[in-house]
Amino acid sequence: MARGRVPLLVADPERRRRGYVAVVLVIVAGALAVLPVFFFRPPARMGPTVLLLTATDTITATPANVSVNADFGPFCSQFAWDPQRRILAVQADVDLSGAEAILVNQYRQGTMNFNTSGGDLVRPMVQVHGGTWLIVSAIDGHALATLVASADNVTVNGASYGRGAQVPLRFAYDVTTDGGTAHVVEELTLRNEGLVETRIVPVEPCI
């Protein structure tokens, strides 16, 4: 070899071919992993028409140094209300057989001394086949208000409200905890959304 000349390096064609094959295999494997999500995922379908009530519930407990156990619903909500399209999406693992009305209660913690696993703070209550329907305490389960659904009207503690009506409710009660007695106050605004369509959607993983 002449002095000062740099040798020319030529890539091994067989090695380059194996590299291409490896890349293609990775792409194919990724595509095969994604395909079931699109092709084997059950499609959304229409569910029953129901009377929908939504509520915003600001809840506080005093004294602030007392921890209060509460059930604010599951960590990942199975219900999602779209007010523009007037469709309530419900995951397929919720049984809506015979459902006539649904209350979706959104909690807001006015104090942070509640012991709960409800990450979304959304608690649904489903009325099936008429009869008395109750709003219950997230703390000890006692009845706070009595509801009766009739077409697109709801009767709350004996007074009837039509579609679009907003009903302010206030509940105050004492509960016994390991740290002593706590005073709980719930300031709830109930809204009658009227009759809405439900859409049954695939179950989403809760992460």
Count how many domains the chain has: 2
The pLDDT value given to residue 14: 59
Burial-class residue 116 by CB neighbours within 10 Å (0-12, 13-18, 19+).
Answer: middle
Same domain, yes or no: 54 and 24: no
Beta partners for 155?
148, 160
Same domain, yes or no: 109 and 163: yes
H helices, E strands: number in the chain:
1, 13
Range of the domain at 28: 11-41
Where do runs of H (alpha helix) occur along the chain?
13-39
Q: Residues of 123-141 as b/e, b for ≥16 C-beta within 10 angstroms?
A: bbbbbeeeeebebebbbee
Same domain, yes or no: 36 and 62: no
Same domain, yes or no: 117 and 17: no
Query: What span, in angstroms and rounded, lies between the C-alpha atoms of 87 and 119?
Result: 23
Is 4 within the bounds of a domain?
Answer: no
- pLDDT of residue 172 exceeding 80, the answer is yes
Same domain, yes or no: 150 and 52: yes
User: Of the segments 3-12, 31-40, 159-168, which one has the largest average pLDDT value?
Assistant: 159-168
Q: Kindly report whether the global pTM for this prediction surpasses the value 0.95.
A: no
